[in-house]
Chain A
């Protein structure tokens, strides 16, 4: 199945082999397995949304889902 993936900020580089954001995954893939397959540093993942709803790394994905993964930001000074 195919997942539509948006990786924000420093995570964007992990989509360099999928510039259209479409990533093929196995049935029953989770956000965690998706992130690991893309080579992402999973421990830095803080916010995940699937089809606009906040989820965690263990969310099981369905064909056509839209997944956003956000890194943390702290700066303000």
Chain B
């Protein structure tokens, strides 16, 4: 995560004091003085048992080891709409170190009921641009790269850099393209989809062809009929974030593909292994 030279630059800031919690102002000072990125400064601090205040409430379940793993990780997000906006917020606050997002669209009024990154003042603006601004307000340590293009237009090396890919798309065609890209790159995909009160979140292991089997010849879902309320999108995004962070922190023991279905109206849920 840090080079030998960066380690040499950072070591003096931590060598002569007892490990403790560390405030963002101090991290910023070290970052400016040593000329090392905030992501790397945070990572190095945690390695030396200086816990940034911002991660204090993560550590009870992540522990230092898990927080380090998250900071080391690169997540690729396809889609920054209802699922993607909520997921970006959660991955950013969790401290996933690098997020690469692809989204071709701009915000419009119909997004306001559910899309966390949209507001009345940013209609007509690029979703990738708003994602960057939002992330900078909640966690500047997270490195963000946004592509305003279609999935097929992403450079090939994006897939090689990904530790985990998140499917926050809204069409079957794009979801199947993404599944194929992940399989080719031998990368696990966290899938999410919603319709009305109902949602599904899956872990798609490379080569499983789970989404191909799931959607078969189908081309349309239920969401146009049932709509997409904010709480269903947020519930699905939370499940995606939890499953994704577990995988990135090596806390996911099963290597199988799984799908989790939930119905918020019926208070019912079911997990299946595929």
Give me the interface of A with B, judged by CB distance under 8 Å: 6, 8-10, 12, 46-47, 49, 52-54, 68, 70-77
Contacts and interface: CB of A to CB of B under 8 A. Distances in A.
Contacts of A54: 272-274
Contacts of B82: 75-77
Interface residues of B, number: 46
Interface in B220-246: 220-226, 228, 233, 236
B170 A73 contact: no
Interface in B194-215: 194-200, 214-215
B221 A73 contact: yes
Q: Chain B CB within 10 Å — which of A12, A47, A72 has the most?
A: A72
Contact of B272 (A6, A12, A49, A74): A49
Given A6-B268, A77-B79, A72 B259 contact: no
Q: Among the interface residues A9, A71, A72, which one has the most CB atoms of the partner chain B within 10 A? A: A9
**B192, B218, B233, B272 — which one has the most chain A CB atoms within 10 A of its CB?**
B272
Q: Chain A's interface: helix, strand, loop or mixed, by majority? A: mixed
A75 B263 CA distance: 15
Interface of B: 79, 81-84, 105, 167-172, 175, 192-200, 214-216, 218, 220-226, 228, 233, 236, 259, 261, 263, 265-266, 268, 270, 272-274
Nearest to A49: B272
A60 B200 CA distance: 26
Contact of A74 (B170, B268, B270): B170
A26 to B, nearest CB: 26
Contact of B193 (A8, A49, A74): A74
Contacts of A52: 270, 272
A74 B221 contact: yes
Contacts of A46: 214-216, 218
B60 to A, nearest CB: 30
Interface centre among A12, A47, A76, by most chain B C-beta atoms within 10 angstroms, is A76
A32 to B, nearest CB: 16
B266 A10 contact: no
**Which of A6, A8, A74 has the most chain B CB atoms closer than 10 A to its own CB?**
A74
B169 A77 contact: yes
A76 B226 contact: no
A46 B216 CA distance: 8
Given A9-B196, A68-B270, A72-B215, A77 B81 contact: yes
A1 to B, nearest CB: 22
Given A72-B222, A74-B220, 7 more contacts: A8-B261, A9-B197, A46-B215, A52-B272, A70-B261, A73-B194, A76-B84
B170 A8 contact: no
Contact of B195 (A47, A49, A53, A74): A74
Contacts of B200: 70, 73
Contacts of B172: 74
A64 B194 CA distance: 30
A47 B228 contact: no
Nearest to B80: A77
A76 B215 contact: no
